Amino acid sequence: MVNVTWHEEVRSKNREEIILAAQQLFLEHDFHNVGIKDVCLKAGVSRVTFYKCFNSIHDLAFEVQIKVMSEMMTYIEEHYDDAGTGIQKLEKMLYVWLDFVKQYPNHMKYVGFFDHYYRDRYPNPELTEHYRTFVQQERSGMRLHGLLEQGVADGTIREDLDIRRISAVIFESMISFFQRMASIGSMVEQEHGVEQEEVARAMIDMIIRYVKK
């Protein structure tokens, strides 16, 4: 059994409070307008405590992103029914993802803000490698590649597909769409006169129709 000291418990608690405070502030005021002082005030901690947990505001922003993505993957894993053919499993996974976005739109909104703010480059090589490793693990956690391979093997998914390329297309397309849905979904409804969930379901249907044998 692992022994956790009182200091480790306090540090862990402070770290979680800082991450939650930063997530709220980044969404409310955007990345450009949030500093360490703002986060400390929101979390009720000192700058000394902040630097015991994080090296910089960029370090914190990346940890919030990792938290958001991890919670998304956990939700999918907990609600995904791993039964049926490859094409059935793929469709169910995409709909579970949609359910997550409907319940936690701010998670996708944060991902959108993060991608926009760090669109040109990441702050340093250490954060770049840390985040790249995490993203690779999360993508494999969605098992898109495996589901497509299973579908090819059981005859429900086209054999002529480049599995790696299609996995990337599905992942990036859904992430991009859900970001827009979470950020300006109501405006999209007004512009097109179509409910955003109808658009989401049509998009999932297009993906399934494209890969289905």
Rounded Cα–Cα distance for residues 118 and 65 (Å):
11
The answer to whether 26 and 64 have CB atoms below 8 angstroms apart is yes
Which DSSP string do the residues of 124-165 spell out, in sequence order? -HHHHHHHHHHHHHHHHHHTHHHHHHHHHHHTSB-TTS-HHH
Q: What is the mean pLDDT of residues 5-26?
A: 87
Supply the angle between the helices 105-117 and 6-29 in degrees, to the nearest 10.
Answer: 80
First to last CA, the chain: 51
Rounded Cα–Cα distance for residues 154 and 211 (Å):
13
Q: What is the mean pLDDT of residues 45-69?
A: 94
The answer to whether 94 and 167 have CB atoms below 8 angstroms apart is no
Give residue-wise pLDDT tens across range 67-112: 999 999 899 889 988 899 999 999 999 999 999 999 999 999 899 8
> Is residue 115 over pLDDT 80?
yes
Q: Which of 84, 87, 207 is nearest to 157 (CA)?
A: 87
Which residues 6+ apart lie within 8 Å of 152 measured at CB?
Answer: 86, 158, 159, 161, 163
The answer to whether 200 and 146 have CB atoms below 8 angstroms apart is no
The answer to whether 167 and 93 have CB atoms below 8 angstroms apart is no
Q: What is the mean pLDDT of residues 176-197?
A: 84
> Is residue 2 over pLDDT 70?
no
In CATH, what is the architecture of 1-54? Orthogonal Bundle (1.10)
pLDDT at site 4: 58
Q: Which of 95, 76, 70 is nearest to 200 (CA)?
A: 95
pLDDT at site 1: 45
pLDDT at site 52: 93
Give residue-wise pLDDT tens across range 122-143: 888 888 888 888 887 776 667 8
- Residue keyed to tokens 């494999």: 140
What percent of the chain lies above the pLDDT cut of 70? Answer: 95
Average of per-residue pLDDT values in the chain: 89
pLDDT at site 140: 65
The encoded tokens of residue 136 equal 């690779």
pLDDT at site 180: 87
The answer to whether 185 and 112 have CB atoms below 8 angstroms apart is no
What confidence category does residue 167 fall into, taking pLDDT thresholds of 50, 70 and 90? very high
The answer to whether 76 and 143 have CB atoms below 8 angstroms apart is no
pTM of this structure:
0.84
Rounded Cα–Cα distance for residues 187 and 202 (Å):
18
Which residues 6+ apart lie within 8 Å of 126 measured at CB?
Answer: none
Rounded Cα–Cα distance for residues 208 and 213 (Å):
10
Which CATH number among 1.10.357.10, 3.65.10.10, 1.10.287.3510, 1.20.1070.10 corresponds to the domain 64-211?
Answer: 1.10.357.10
> Is residue 12 over pLDDT 50?
yes
Lowest mean pLDDT among 11-25, 30-44, 100-114, 185-199: 185-199
Domain ranges of the chain: 1-54, 64-211
